[in-house]
Amino acid sequence: LPDEINLVEIERIDLVCEVNNTDHHTLQNGVDSLIVRRGQPFTITLHLQPGTHFQNGDNINFIAQTGPIPSVEAQTKAKFSLSRFISRSSWSATAETSDSTVSLTVCSHPNAPIGVYKLILDQGEGVGLGEFVLLFNPWCKQDSVYLASEAEREEYVLSQDGLIYRGIPKRITVLPWTFGQFEPGILDICLQILDESPNYISDAALDCSERRNPVYVTRVLSAMINSLGDKGVLVGNWSDDHEDGVKPTVWKDSCSILQQWSNDGCRAVRYGQCWVFAAVACTVSRALGIPCRVVTNYGSARDSNGDLVMERFYNEFDENIANDSIWNFHVWVENWMTRPDLALGYEGWQASDPTPQHRSEGVFCCGPAPVRAIKEGELTFKYDIPFVYAEVNADVVEYIKLRDGRVFKMGGSTTEVGKSISTKAVGRDEREDITHNYKYPEGSEEERRVYEKANHHNKLAQAGEEPGFHIKIKVTPDMQIGSDFDVYAELKNNTMVTKSCRVMFYAQAVSYNGKLGETCGLGEFTEMNLAPTEGSKVTLRLEYAEYSKAINQDRMIKLVALLIDAETRDFYRAKKTIILDGPEIIILGVPKVGQNLVADLALQNPLPEPLENCVFTIHGANLTDGKPITHEVGTVGPKEFVTAKVQFTPKLPGQRKILIDFASDKLHNVETYENLVIYE
């Protein structure tokens, strides 16, 4: 055949991973494989057999393909030939030749599906030139995840650790977390998650084609991070029984969860709660190149019937007997992308919630919901906006139901839901309040206008200090676990007559999702008379001996004070959730630059009893070799100091966080972190 003379015979191929991965911001993934971002050129070197010539003309053709059934129509296969210039809007290639080498530059379409690709030289029969992974590209203006700010790309795409906010608005607590999206093997697991989804299993060709769209990929991840209805990563558990798995509060990093899922044949890992689901979703999103951040909403409503009113029925002992619930906090993620499927103006941050609470189009997933649509009350836009809208905006009406069946309306609040919506600030270990992205200021005209638009009627009158009876709970700042302390209920009679009343004041353990536990302090009904405009105070002592048996690892206690007018039988109620301070971990010693670093750890047991099975754990991306380092310290007596030296070896230079955790039989989830700068 005359064509035989033109066949290019290749001796070996160099994918030049180090140079390409550096250019494509994937160097942290390592240099063992070629990992590039879409819409951006990469260059590989072909070493030719002696005597072979490479005719630099348009008769040299290439194929790039992904997925098990590549097709040009589905955009999972691209055919292109050599051209004089790289095009930024389609697959293209250019070549520079010298004696026996060809430097081949290839650029993908900025809207190509992400995934594992084969690159083929097409000369009658295909010659494989190698495999590469193609990711979303926040650095490319044509990519739908383009993020203009370099500082934001550093934080939301490249940063391997972060802070997750929990607690209550008056006492926001910080959980340091290692996302570890560039740790060895993690990207492969993230791609495996896509391949285990029901969408891929039922129609792989369509699923791979849809992977060009970050809206689609985010939705698949929201369903696959939880295990309901598919081979998802994590099982949710909001009970106190975690015998057959790991307590949600024990996890401190995403990699150990993802590795366990993958190594265990895609069996769901036990157990997660909202912040764990969100943190893992953040790792996978960042690994695939979708900018992502973890967001916490305080006073997060779960509206079971979709009327945007949280109706709470209580019995006398403050047990909520309705389906609607308000969690002390709830955590989800936001992903950054354009929304070509919606009107202009709804691009940018999209809320996505991988915690399984709600079926969307038949699947347990939620989002992506444009944050701006939530703010504007546009409940018809895709996806799941009414659900997220209620999480941050529902009104609350409260009723109390007595044993004899009578129901009293006890008032309510329009400001209790959706407060202090928080995420880690860009480039700093500080909290950024993003409530304004989700809602207009409470009580403002716009907020009410949006509220009406979202078909919300029962706005309750805002009350300052009003006539009538008042009850309020006051606490002292020093509420450390292990100590006994007092809390107070203050009563005020703002009426013209002397009132006779009964007061009940009690404390109950509670977990972050509002689930009540055992009672751990009770001031029975006390009879008292209050003269006009007179105030009084009832004290409840919380003793460690009592509350230590009731509280769980969230260290939260709910205080409730009930005031009953002896004459009219009217109820007044005050409540407050408190979080007990854990002990501080003090890090001693200065980390020296060099090979081995030693963290000198010290902590005082705050309890009046010994701690058993004490363990320090440290970990950090590129610091502890991809897995936590544990150090057992045994038993620590009451009020004693415990110290430990833990050695680790940093792998790469740069700013890193070392996360430290202390656990024992009676104290868990005591954590802190330190920023380290590692020099070359």
Q: Which residues are catalytic?
A: 274, 330, 353
- Asked if 318 and 560 count as a contact pair (C-beta separation under 8 A), the reply is yes
Asked if the peptide bond before residue 512 counts as cis, ω within 30 degrees of 0, the response is no
- Eight-state DSSP code of residue 589: S
Cα separation, 350 vs 342, whole angstroms = 12
552 in a known ligand binding site: no
Q: Which amino acid is at 464?
A: G
Secondary structure of 403-447 as H, E, C letters: CCCCEEEEEEECCCCCEEEEEECCCCCCEEECHHHHCCCCCCHHH
Residue 398 annotated as binding site: no
600 labeled part of a ligand binding site? no
Residue with tokens 């001031």: 523
CA end-to-end distance (rounded Å), the chain = 58
Question: What is the C-alpha radius of gyration for the chain, rounded to an integer number of angstroms?
Answer: 29
Residue 124 to residue 127: CA distance in whole angstroms: 9
Tell me if the bond preceding 370 is cis, omega within 30° of 0.
Answer: no
Residue 395 is assigned to a ligand binding site: yes
- In Å, how far from its chain's centre is CA 584? 25
Give CA separation, 679 vs 534, 591, 599, 653, in Å: 66, 11, 17, 5
Question: How long, in residues, is the chain?
Answer: 680
- Residues 69-101 as b/e (b if ≥16 CB within 10 A, e otherwise) read ebeeebbbbbebebeeeeebeebbbbbeeeeee
| Cβ neighbours around 3 below 10 Å, total | 9
Instruction: State the pairing for strand pair 234-236/395-401.
Output: unpaired
Helix (H, G, I), strand (E, B) or coil at 637: coil
The tokens of 99 are what? 């004696």
130: left (phi over 0), alpha (psi -120 to 50) or beta: left
Burial 543-570 (b: 16+ CB within 10 A, else e): ebebbbebbbbbbbbbbbbbbbbeeeee
Cα–Cα distance measured from residue 338 to residue 372, given in angstroms and rounded to the nearest whole number: 12
Structural contact between residues 623 and 638, judged by C-beta atoms closer than 8 angstroms: no
β-strand pairing of 125-135 with 34-37: parallel
Joined together, the tokens standing for residue 248 give: 């949600």
Question: What is the spatial distance between Cα 331 and Cα 294, in angstroms, rounded to a whole number?
Answer: 7
Short-list 300, 371, 355, CA closest to 330: 300
Residues in the annotated binding site? 393, 395, 442, 447
Binding site for Ca(2+): what residues are annotated? 393, 395, 442, 447
